[in-house]
Amino acid sequence: MSLLEIENVSKRFGGVQAVDDVSLHVDEGEILGIIGPNGAGKTTLFNLITGTIRSDTGKISLAGADITTTSPTKRARAGIGRTFQVVRPFLRMTVAENVMVPVLVHTHKVSEARNKAVALLEELGIGKLADLDVSQLTLAQRKRIEVARALATEPKVLLLDEVLAGLNNREVLDVLPFVNQVRARGISIIMIEHLVKALTSVSDRIIVLDQGTLIAQGKSDDVLKDPAVIKAYIGEEDNVEG
Amino acid sequence: MKRSHLISGVVVLALMAFLPLIIGQYLLNNAVLIVMFVGITVAWNIAAFGGALSLGHAAFFGLGSYTMAILLLDFGVNPWIGMLAGMVVAAGGGLLLSIPLLRLRGPFFTLASIAFAEVIRLVAVYARDFTGGSEGLTIPYAPGWLNMSFSDREPYYYIVLGLTAIAVLVSVWIYYSRVGYQLRASGSDDEATRALGVNTAVLKVVALVISAALTGAFGAFAAQYFFIVDPETNFSLNLYSIQPALNGIIGGAGTVLGPILGAVLMTPIGEYMRGAFAGQQGLNFMIYGVVLVGVVMLMPGGLVSGIEKLRARFRLKRGVGRRTDTTAALDESRAEDRL
């Protein structure tokens, strides 16, 4: 049995079939990469997993428990953490306070929660940002705070929605080790990313979405050679890593 | 809560307690109004921690006034107990307003809150048997601490000062509590907060109910202070819904100090203009509007954020002060990112 199992999930918005009968699973400690052209339904799939959107069909289960109709809050508590494609820090709060918000779900004492939040930030190598206001941070720093905040929920599965988007090469190399650090904690990861090279370097397995359907899955090398993927994702038979 | 906050709070309260010894009865009336509006604004702001910008708080104020007055006139209930009952009824009103709060976002909730307060005001107008209709109810003059009724203004001043101190204490306590952090996060981004496992619905309801109950206490106080309760005054959209919201927004909604500053600054200006432009009806509102537009355009986060920005700029210029450590850390980490 896999940690997270998604069976035959679909979602339609008016005339658009955003996600069409998708099934996938993530094992414990695994990093699953999701690629696909714009509008392929990647973020919708994330919203279905976190419960922000209810699926029209199918079943989602986490560690054997059916969570298909569970609220986003309860899913987060059950162990599904996420980051957002566009960073969403809590404004007018410091970095430490941002991380305290999820810590306070389990830790009721404020001073204790603060210590835990600072300890987590230090563990991730960004301890010196703790007392800064989030509005003072660069995008790369905000992305890291977003990951730290999601980690503070103590997730079993972490959903990373384009954490590398908008970063320059140097910053990408900075954030990537972060992903491995998360895995080292025994947390499974599902990553959406447009940077195929960066994604394949950290993923164990890749799935490809196109117009809501899952068109390929497997080891990254095999998947990227799949003619269907090349046709849908790249358009022409050309350099895949472009 | 930091100790420095507590100390400065106690000092301010002590200074305020000596005020009646210095100023006369006319100014003391202004002082009562200012302190009352500080309290009402602080109470309103507790809901704003969670992002709820209500324009329906006049409902809670009026419910507090009417509950106390009706209990006193029809059932002979002591005004102090009536005040507590008024808080309970206002809290019930808060629970009612939670229904749109949890279903509507931002400006749509604000519109619903206006409608909510108007409906309750109309009930007060038409439930003539209890409320005395448009003429309202008159509180009998029976001086004495037991009756919360006095010939001088000093006792009223101390009562409202006590109520406001309680409101500020509750507000500060919530702000720095577990609930406060999660509430502020929800006010900044509700969906992101829920995705972190925080049950924001419960927090928002709790904040609105506390905010409503405190507002109700001031409503009951006002009934005793003005000796009269009527729908146009005690459910006044202008006085008790818009005014606290404006004070809060001008000072800095969602902060601890902002609403206090906003109310202290705006209440005397409003009072002065009402007198000075009594001939030209509506001119005072126009000037008020200009001030609001100015503040919102120059300092979108209110006076508090404007002051903070000025202080930060001053410190950077001087290169000294408390923030040097953090600004140094920031520069360092930014430099690292640029490498």
Where do runs of H (alpha helix) occur along B255-302? Answer: 258-276, 283-298
Pair type for strands A57-62 and A80-82? unpaired
Nearest to B337 among A72, A102, A138 (CB): A138
d(CA A130, CA A163): 20
Identify whether A241 is part of a domain: no
Contact B185 A101 (CB under 8 A): yes
CB-CB contact of B215 with B191 (8 Å): no
B338 or B220: which leads in pLDDT? B220
d(CA B103, CA B99): 7
- A182 and A79, same structural domain? yes
The lowest-confidence range among A30-44, A101-115, A144-158, B264-278 is B264-278
The side-by-side arrangement of strands in the sheet containing A80-82 is A80-82, A157-161, A188-192, A31-35, A205-210, A213-218
- A81 and A35, same structural domain? yes
- A98 and A52, same structural domain? no
How far apart are the CA of A36 and the nearest CA of chain B, in angstroms? 24
Residues of B in contact with A81 (CB under 8 A): 195-196
B331 touches chain A (CB under 8 A): no
Identify whether B309 is part of a domain: no
Identify whether B326 is part of a domain: no
Please count the other Cβ atoms lying within 10 Å of the Cβ belonging to residue B7: 10
Contact B333 A104 (CB under 8 A): no
Contact A92 B254 (CB under 8 A): yes
Secondary structure, 3-state, B191-205: HHHHCCCCCHHHHHH
Strand partners, A5: A25, A61
- A224 and A118, same structural domain? no
Angle A146-A149-A153 (CA atoms, 0-180°, nearest 5)? 140
How far apart are the CA of B315 and the nearest CA of chain A, in angstroms? 16
Whole-number CA gyration radius for chain A = 18
Contact B198 A98 (CB under 8 A): no
Identify whether B155 is part of a domain: yes
Nearest to B188 among A72, A84, A90 (CB): A90
Share of chain A above pLDDT 90, in %: 60
Residues of B in contact with A77 (CB under 8 A): 197
Q: What average pLDDT does the segment B150-158 reach?
A: 93
Number of domains in chain B: 1
Residues of A in contact with B332 (CB under 8 A): 128
pLDDT-derived band at B328 (thresholds 50, 70, 90) equals: low
Burial readout A32-45 (b: 16 or more C-beta within 10 A, e: otherwise): bbbbbeeebbbbbb
Residues of A in contact with B305 (CB under 8 A): 92
Domain carrying residue A127: 91-132
- A228 and A154, same structural domain? yes
Identify whether B299 is part of a domain: no
pLDDT digits (tens, 9 = 90+) for A48-70: 999 999 999 999 999 999 999 99
d(CA A18, CA B291): 48
Strand partners, B22: none
Quick one: pLDDT at residue A129? 93
- A44 and A25, same structural domain? yes
A1 touches chain B (CB under 8 A): no
Identify whether B293 is part of a domain: no
- A167 and A99, same structural domain? no
CB within 8 Å of B108: residues ≥ 6 apart: none
Contact B192 A88 (CB under 8 A): yes
Nearest to B184 among A72, A77, A93 (CB): A93
The lowest-confidence range among A91-95, B36-40, B182-186 is A91-95
Quick one: pLDDT at residue B282? 77
CB within 8 Å of B260: residues ≥ 6 apart: B38, B41, B42, B168, B251
Where do runs of H (alpha helix) occur along chain B? Answer: 3-22, 25-49, 57-75, 79-103, 106-126, 128-131, 154-175, 178-188, 190-194, 200-226, 231-234, 243-251, 258-276, 283-298, 303-318, 324-338
Closest-CA residue to A79 (of A184, A133, A169, A3): A3
Residues of B in contact with A129 (CB under 8 A): 329-330, 333
Identify whether A240 is part of a domain: no
Contact A141 B178 (CB under 8 A): no
pLDDT digits (tens, 9 = 90+) for B87-145: 999 999 999 999 999 999 889 999 999 999 999 999 999 999 889 999 999 999 989 99
Identify whether B286 is part of a domain: no
Can you point out the beta strands (E) in chain A? 4-13, 16-26, 31-35, 57-62, 65-66, 80-82, 157-161, 188-192, 205-210, 213-218
Quick one: pLDDT at residue A235? 65
CB-CB contact of A56 with A18 (8 Å): no
- A95 and A161, same structural domain? no
Q: Is B190 helix (H, G, I), strand (E, B) or coil?
A: helix
Q: Is A8 helix (H, G, I), strand (E, B) or coil?
A: strand
- A122 and A83, same structural domain? no
Number of domains in chain A: 2
Domain carrying residue B210: 3-236
Taking a contact as any Cβ pair under 8 Å apart, which residues of chain A between 84 and 143 contact chain B? 84, 88-93, 97-98, 100-102, 104-105, 108-110, 113, 128-129, 131-132, 136, 138, 140-141
How far apart are the CA of A116 and the nearest CA of chain B, in angstroms? 14
A150 touches chain B (CB under 8 A): yes
Identify whether A221 is part of a domain: yes
- A95 and A83, same structural domain? no
Contact B181 A110 (CB under 8 A): yes
Identify whether B284 is part of a domain: no
Contact B196 A129 (CB under 8 A): no
pLDDT digits (tens, 9 = 90+) for B229-265: 999 999 999 899 999 999 999 999 999 999 999 999 9
Identify whether A181 is part of a domain: yes
Contact A141 B196 (CB under 8 A): no
Secondary structure letter of residue B54 according to DSSP: -
Quick one: pLDDT at residue B339? 42
CB-CB contact of A183 with A215 (8 Å): no
Q: What average pLDDT does the segment B217-222 reach?
A: 98
B3 touches chain A (CB under 8 A): no
Q: What average pLDDT does the segment A137-159 reach?
A: 91
Amino acid residing at B26: Y
Identify whether B109 is part of a domain: yes
- A169 and A76, same structural domain? yes
ipTM: 0.85
- A100 and A30, same structural domain? no
CB-CB contact of B52 with B208 (8 Å): yes
d(CA B54, CA B45): 9
